[in-house]
Structure formats: structure tokens, C-alpha cells
Amino acid sequence: MKATLVDNILKKWRLKKAEKLVKGGVVYDIGCYHGEFLKKIEKKIEKGYGIDKLVNKNSTKKITFKKAYIKEKIPGKENSADYLTMIAILEHLENPEKMLKDCRRILKKGGLIIITTPHPRGKNILEWLVKLRLVGWGEEEIKDHKGYYDEKAIEEMLKKAGFGSIRCELFEFGLNVLATAKK
């Protein structure tokens, strides 16, 4: 199914939230899909790594795309990233706690993880939007969601993974969570 106007608006909103937080340096975008986020911030970063099982973009001078199915281990060097983004990916992970620990491994000391994920109250609304065909990613995408997380659940996972300076806020009418934390 093709992306709809609603898809594009929601994606733009998520990307803008994350974009405001990235100030430069090295960025890993986990679950980058087709690399839209890295392309959007390319001019202000030193280097970007986009990792996804569906990535189909060619690497550029500043951005390296790696096709990989990520379960618990991120292909990347320890202490190499200033920022690590997971935009609408946490909900697809079988074991998000293990993934967050590995994200911490990739980040430099003081590095920032940026996460967006649907809030539990958004589950029924997402399913309804799919049935009405107002969003184009379809039922398979929604069925692939392993979990929905509120601010407290994300904060607990980040604490267990060893992160500090944790902040969570709701956006997209309270249906999504933006979480940040430092290594």
C-alpha cells in the first residue's frame, strides 16, 4: 500500500521531533527504513549509519546504509556514536531491553539515544486508521507491533539498560512517546 497523507504527516512530525535533538557528530539510525531521517540531517552531521532489514539506498560520502535484521545486536563499533535514533522501531522488537543495552554499547559517553514509539492508548486508534485505510502501512505492520509503551515503561527499560538523564514526553495528540536518555 502507498503512503497516505496521514502517514506523511505523522512521519514528518516524528522526524522533526528527533531532528531538533541532533546537533551534529556521528548518528546511528536503527530501523532507518529508506533513510529519510539521515537524508534530512545529512548537512549537519559528521557521519550517519542507517541500519534496517529493508534499506535499499546507496551509501553516500557521509551516510552508510547497512542492510541487517536487528534483533539484539547492532552492527557498529563500541563508543562510536554521539546520537542513536530509534524512530518508530521499539514497538517492533521482540526484546527491547536487550536492544537498548546494545544501543548503550554503541553510544559514546554522554551520547544521546532518541526514541519515538506508540503509546498504549494509540493501539486501537492505529488499528482503526488501518481499517479505514487512512494510513498506508497496513495490518501487517500493526500486527508486527510486539508492544506499546508508556513513559514509565520506557523509563524503566532505559534505567535497566544503564541510561541516565531520562526524559519522556507525549506528542502526536498523546498517542506517541518521545524518550531521550544519555549514556
Report whether 179 contacts 154 (CB < 8 A).
Answer: yes
Low-confidence residues of the chain: pLDDT under 50: none
What's at 7, amino acid-wise? D
Q: In this structure, how many other beta carbons lie within 10 angstroms of the beta carbon of residue 52?
A: 21
pTM of the complete model: 0.91
For the record, the C-alpha cell of 164 comes out as 541516565
Q: Total structural domains in the chain?
A: 1
Domain that holds residue 128: 5-182
* pLDDT, tens digit, 9 for 90 and up, residues 141-152: 767 789 999 999
At 169, which CATH number?
A: 3.40.50.150
Q: What is the pLDDT of residues 106-135, one digit of tens each?
A: 999 999 999 999 999 988 787 777 777 766
Amino acid at 4: T
